Amino acid sequence: MRIRIVILWIVILCSHTLSAQYAYFPQGGTIHFEKTVHVKNFLKTLTSVGKNDNFDKTYMEQMMSKAPETYIFKSKLLFSDEKSRYEPVKQELTGFMRSLIWFGLDYEGIFYQDMKKKQMHSLMDYQGTNMWTQDSLLNVKWKITDEYREIAGYNCRRANGVIMDSVYVVAFYTDDIPLSSGPTTFHGLPGMILGAVIPDRHTSIYATKVEIGQPEVTQVVGKKRDKPMTRKEIQSFLRESMSVGEWTTEKQFKIQMLGLFL
């Protein structure tokens, strides 16, 4: 009897070992995301860090009275091997929502990351001007926690991060998808990031569906007249064009830059 029990336990252990050994880890696919922006809170923050100008505050208060509490932007991430491309899904925006885009609510950016080459490219419409970025992967300092949650059917673990020297972010990643990537320029964790929160921009991005496949992941390329710039070059260019210190405060500028790089 004891011998039978021992044999039974050996069979169970072997079956678990084999199932773990042959667990399926997708190397490519499409992840659908929803980016939720708390619009009123975003506008309140912009107003609170702006110039102490009665006209600007009155105008922003009028905008806030018409703005929805939240707005959802849909997007998708294509990934294959060591590359990923995050891009918006086309949506019909009202004239009012289109005007809010100009405040930096969303730049409808396309982000390409190559983990092997440690490079990122992005392209977005910044108030009618194409901003084409070519640079190294964004530096993020992560601290993995013991908090878990399920996102799009995957068990995800929380990590707290610091980006751009002082910006606090939160991410949830799954090691069931081994590529160290995520929405926009998020990366650097031992698996795919399926959830991200950027408190300074009152923004969260969560996956809603994962489709396994082998999509074509193409680089981001600007138009012939567009000139690629590094993040540092873009910041210098915009700092001058936005007259930071005169018309725009440092805190407003920081929030705008977060929208371009995250």
- Residue 253 has what pLDDT? 85
Q: Is residue 163 part of a domain?
A: no
> What pLDDT, on a 0 to 100 scale, did the predictor assign at position 59?
80
Output the pLDDT for position 10.
42
The ranges of the chain with pLDDT < 70 are 1-25, 52-55
Task: Look at residue 94 and tell me if it is in a domain.
Answer: yes
Strands, E assignment, the chain: 28-37, 71-80, 83-88, 110-114, 119-126, 129-136, 140-151, 154-163, 167-174, 192-198, 203-212
Rg of the chain over Cα atoms, rounded to whole angstroms, equals: 22
Position 6 in a domain? no
Q: Is residue 210 part of a domain?
A: yes
For the chain, what's the residue count? 262
Residue 134 lies in a domain: yes
Q: Which pLDDT does position 92 carry in this prediction? A: 87
159 located within any domain: no
Within a domain: residue 244?
yes
**Number of domains forming the structure of the chain:** 1
What's the pLDDT score for residue 22?
43
Beta 110-114 vs 119-126: how paired, if at all? antiparallel
Q: pLDDT, tens digit, for every residue of 134-158?
A: 999 999 999 999 999 999 999 999 9
- Per the domain annotation, does 18 fall within a domain? no
**Is the Cα torsion angle 114, 120, 126, 129 positive or negative in sign?**
negative
Phi, psi of 76, deg, nearest 5 = -145, 155
Nearest to 93 by CA among 78, 106, 80, 110: 106
Range of the domain at 34: 24-138+192-261
* Helix 250-261 and helix 39-48, axial crossing angle in degrees, nearest 10: 140
Q: Alpha carbon of 246 to those of 53, 56, 206, 235: distances in Å?
A: 12, 14, 37, 16
252, two tokens: 């407003």
What pLDDT, on a 0 to 100 scale, did the predictor assign at position 241?
Answer: 83
